[in-house]
Structure 1
């Protein structure tokens, strides 16, 4: 018997609680009693606790990165939190999601097979509303996607999949690629109904809209890398990432990074009356002597002193002194 309730079963349970035909206190008492967990030997758990914990760590890192990206893309704070990482059959997963919904089927190259990233329709339509200039509201009645909406969803889904590369990088170099977008779970036959899947449920909130992003990966897809799905390998691989190639890459990027440079000619204080009376041609005396060097500011910190001049018909500054760390006030 499935442990996952369908949306219809959830609605029936809520109705029974509201009508009083089911007593909530009795349910709590029953839950507090010691229970025997049924184990189906025909469908044993294929992932160990250590492997499940490693997947939890990977997707916690993914949720943090993805929340930052979506907050910037949607121009609205987005919070994401891992609710659960569990293994279910494909049939149980399909029964637990609404219809219609937004199913993004993607490849997990170089691993063989496909996986699913399901976005709750309320959340998906809120994303669409923000991206198309709206306040981020979901429609009162969930419907299928239009062609324009599907194109927008495909673009943002691919960017969401791209963020899987970094957290998975210590295990395997992935290249997730969106294959298609479906809305009817019943017509999406990815694997056999009894196939074991890893289901990662990410609770996502944007403003007042709360929904789920579920990532569904078949066991067959992850089977070739099961020996790497352990916490020891994950963290030991992370510490070995600082290779000379990576160091050189970071050094080259830093060398080509542009930083703001400004030269302060001088400062002074004037009254509001003097400010209001300023006109073209007026002269403002500065508190710096013409014999003193000018401050060369890098970012927010004075790093050099220099003398003004002209070089190649442009105003320039010749560095005359390097300001040592902690001596900026000199």
Structure 2
């Protein structure tokens, strides 16, 4: 708040400046120091994630939210909306104190990263999902209780589906293979890191039908530390632009290996006029120019000449034997290679 000087204070200040008791430079320095912004730093909970890394985590989980919206809507056959509400860093103790008891806490093994993470689902969302899968309208319950064995088994299936979406959302950074370890209902039994350890908390606003609640994904710094350098906008956008991860390349190879292409053994080529083609009859002989019986044939894959071959038989079937590979499709190169093979 700006302090307003009275007229007497202004007169005293002007008198002091004119008499030399106060230097104008000291006044200016004091004014600058008073306007200097001071950032409060708590050594008990140091910031371990930069703003850029927090932003990258947010982008990753926006993709996760879209995938989860689609998968849950299809599984529950109901309108489901999931979007990122916030991404914050805090201590693990603060996270545990902020969630209700009982609740649905899924301990996630973050292979190949060391350590675990926690996916917490609000009880209202949990019971809405269970009610929907059991044939109800998806109404939540105001009664707070632990899950039965059957309800816990149902939620395990839902969480496994959600983890599949998480793997796809993280694919640009790491080939994550999240696995469900166990489900707890009491937050005090899910001590995956020390209470003072810093975590990044992704809060997802979730709506199943008319029931609203939160899903929280808690990732300890110790778990995410090996890939912390990859959580930058530069790495993220470059990896998205490349799109050539090992997994993608292997997938492309597998799909290409099953594609059928035409392979044609070509004896030779000849140009004819349309009149000659129309006058052809059964028994006519077409003489190929500059082609001898001993010349190698070209083996074309699609519309590209790739090999030289010799005709023959394999059993009772016609066959060709590949004798040389052609590096380029040029005709001059083909003729030179054919001549070399003929000499041999």
TM-score (norm 2): 0.61
CA distance in 2, matches of 1:37, 1:142: 42
How far does the alpha carbon of each residue in 1:270-298 deviate from its partner, in whole angstroms, 9 at most, with x for none? xxxxxxxxxxxxxxxxxxxxxxxxxxxxx
Match of 1:96 in 2: 98
Contact in 1 for aligned 2:121/2:215 (Cα 8 Å)? yes
Residues 108, 175 of structure 1: 8 Å contact kept: yes
CA RMSD, 1 decimal: 1.9
Q: What SS does structure 2 have at the residue aligned with 1:44?
A: coil
Gaps of 5+ in 1: 1-34, 256-330
CA deviations on 1:113-169 (whole Å, 9 max, x unpaired) are: 011000000001100111111110122312100000011111111111111111111
The 2-side partners of 1:98 and 1:87 are apart by: 19
How far the C-alpha of 1:238 sits from its partner, in A, is 1.7
Change (3 A) 1:254 1:96: farther
Asked whether 1:176 is paired with 2:182, we answer: no
CA contact (8 A) 1:122 1:142 kept: no
**Mapped partners of 1:112, 1:253: distance in 2:** 37
1:198-239 Cα shifts (integer Å, max 9, x gaps): 100000011110000000010000001111111111111122
The answer as to 2:194 corresponding to 1:216 is no
Deviations 1:35-59 (A, max 9, x none): 9864202321000111111101000
Structure 1 residue ranges (4+ consecutive) displaced by more than 3 angstroms after TM superposition: 35-38, 242-255
Any unmatched runs of 5+ in structure 2? 1-36, 261-344
**1:43 aligned to 2:45?**
yes
> Do the aligned partners of 2:92 and 2:198 also contact (CA within 8 Å) in 1?
yes
Which residue of structure 2 aligns with residue 59 of structure 1?
61
How does 1:90-239 map onto structure 2 within 5 Å? 90-239=92-241
Q: Deviations over 1:227-275 (max 9, x none)?
A: 11111111111222246544444557898xxxxxxxxxxxxxxxxxxxx
Could you tell me which residue of structure 2 aligns to residue 86 of structure 1? Answer: 88
- Inter-partner Cα distance in structure 2 for 1:152 and 1:64: 22
Q: Look up the SS of the partner of 2:118 in the other structure.
A: strand
TM-score (norm 1): 0.64
| Cα distance in 2 for residues equivalent to 1:225 and 1:140 | 41
SS at match of 1:100: coil
